[in-house]
């Protein structure tokens, strides 16, 4: 009874406390015969221009934080969605490892000193570092928990808002991990059970809220608002309620249905609740068949890219599918990518 009361209080607090965040949802579906799909929505108060990029192996990168930065060479190619062409915010690499960046107002990153002993990585490259270097969630967890660098954040260009995000990853085995910086410390949640992530509160508290709602049958009542806590509960219920199938067409339609159910209609916003933001785009990554799907809410067509039709070899060209002006594509669109100079990641 005491735990139930605490969960109710926690739920109430999460619904009433004002938190200036942007809302997103991420959910992972695991079906029979290795069927794994990861979906996410990108919710933002303003337009957030997005493009798709094909990034081959062998690209040399730095952490973009000055002299005291990490450096690496991409081991795996990837398809990513960029935001403003300054950061990778979503994507999948050629091994089926998927990464998603979501807003987390409670994030507090470790202190970075440009002349210190610990190297830094600009937050715009956090996701790309993972996609470039790892094939599985376990590999990424093993490396990142060593904290060979700190994530360095900064103001979002053209705004007065400091970027505060957390990172989720999943792989074709259905494994999951969530990375958060809380009070300057890296906190890692690693389990195949962590299928859902939204925004505030921190992930540990999201799990506690969901535990309370598990005692209430979803066929009778589910929380219906656009708030992060409610979206977490709905996503958790529906991702387990949809059919368990290895029919890719059926699974894909079901997963798109879940992420759309957790989305916010375009034009919905609240000046007193900036955590309620319109969904701008959605992605679904098919990690078994290596297909990346993208849906822009301002365009009625879903576009997708089959990795088997892409060239990830070292020295292959970087390619871009421009979507930021609501260009009209439909279906498999690998041939519509154009050779383009790589975008520059935002740094210090």
Report whether the peptide linkage leading into residue 201 is cis, meaning its omega lies within 30 degrees of zero: yes
So which residues are the catalytic ones? 24
Q: How far is CA 14 from CA 10, 80, 121, 167, 232, in A?
A: 6, 32, 31, 21, 12
Per residue in 147-206, pLDDT tens? Answer: 999 999 988 776 777 888 999 999 999 999 999 999 999 999 999 999 998 877 787 777
CA dist 197 and 6 (Å) reads 21
Residues 263-318 have pLDDT tens digits of 877 777 665 554 567 889 999 999 999 999 999 988 878 999 999 999 999 999 99
Residue 8 has a pLDDT of: 36
Residue position matching structure tokens 């990172």:
167
Q: State pLDDT tens for residues 6-61.
A: 443 333 333 333 344 456 889 999 999 999 999 999 977 777 889 999 999 999 99
Strands 302-306 and 331-332, sheet pairing: parallel
pLDDT, position 299:
84
pLDDT at 214: 63
Q: Percentage of the chain surpassing pLDDT 70?
A: 86
Residue 174: Cβ within 10 Å count: 19
- The 10s digit of each residue's pLDDT in 208-266 is 666 655 666 655 567 767 777 788 888 889 999 999 999 999 999 999 999 998 887 77
CA–CA gap between residue 194 and residue 172 (Å, rounded):
14
pLDDT of residue 205: 74
* Separation between Cα atoms, residue 215 and residue 268, nearest integer Å: 31
Q: Which domains does the chain have, with CATH numbers?
A: 24-197+235-339 (3.60.60.10)
**Model-wide pTM > 0.75:** yes
pLDDT of residue 27: 96
Instruction: Share the mean pLDDT of the chain.
Output: 87
């Amino acid at each position: 009874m005491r735990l139930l009361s605490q969960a109710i209080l926690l739920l109430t607090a999460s619904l009433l406390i004002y938190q200036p965040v942007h809302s997103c949802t991420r959910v992972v579906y695991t079906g029979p015969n290795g069927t794994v799909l990861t979906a996410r929505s990108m919710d933002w108060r303003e337009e957030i221009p997005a493009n798709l990029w094909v990034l081959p192996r062998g690209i040399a990168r730095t952490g973009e934080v000055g002299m005291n930065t990490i450096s690496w060479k991409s081991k795996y190619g990837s398809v990513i969605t960029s935001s403003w062409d300054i950061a990778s915010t979503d994507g999948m690499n050629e091994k089926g490892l998927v990464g998603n960046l979501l807003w987390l107002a409670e994030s507090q990153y470790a202190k970075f000193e440009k002349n210190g002993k610990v190297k830094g990585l600009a937050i715009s490259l956090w996701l790309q570092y993972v996609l470039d270097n790892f094939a599985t969630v376990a590999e990424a967890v093993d490396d990142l928990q060593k904290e060979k660098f700190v994530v360095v954040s900064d103001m979002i260009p053209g705004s007065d808002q400091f970027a505060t995000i957390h990172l989720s990853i999943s792989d074709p085995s259905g494994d999951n991990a969530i990375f958060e910086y809380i009070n300057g410390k890296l906190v890692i949640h690693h389990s195949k059970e962590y299928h859902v992530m939204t925004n505030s509160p921190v992930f540990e508290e999201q799990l506690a809220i969901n535990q309370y709602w598990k005692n209430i049958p979803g066929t009778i009542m589910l929380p219906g608002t656009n708030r992060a806590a409610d979206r977490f509960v709905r996503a958790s219920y529906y991702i387990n309620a949809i059919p368990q199938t290895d029919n890719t067409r059926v699974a894909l339609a079901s997963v798109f249905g879940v992420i759309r159910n957790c989305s916010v209609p375009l034009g919905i916003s609240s000046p007193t609740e900036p955590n309620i933001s319109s969904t701008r785009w959605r992605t679904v990554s098919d990690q078994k068949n290596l297909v990346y799907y993208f849906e822009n809410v301002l365009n009625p067509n879903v576009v997708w890219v089959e990795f088997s039709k892409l060239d990830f070899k070292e020295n292959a060209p970087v390619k871009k599918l421009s979507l930021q002006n609501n260009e009209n594509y439909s279906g498999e669109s690998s041939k519509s990518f154009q050779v383009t100079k790589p975008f520059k990641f935002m740094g210090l």
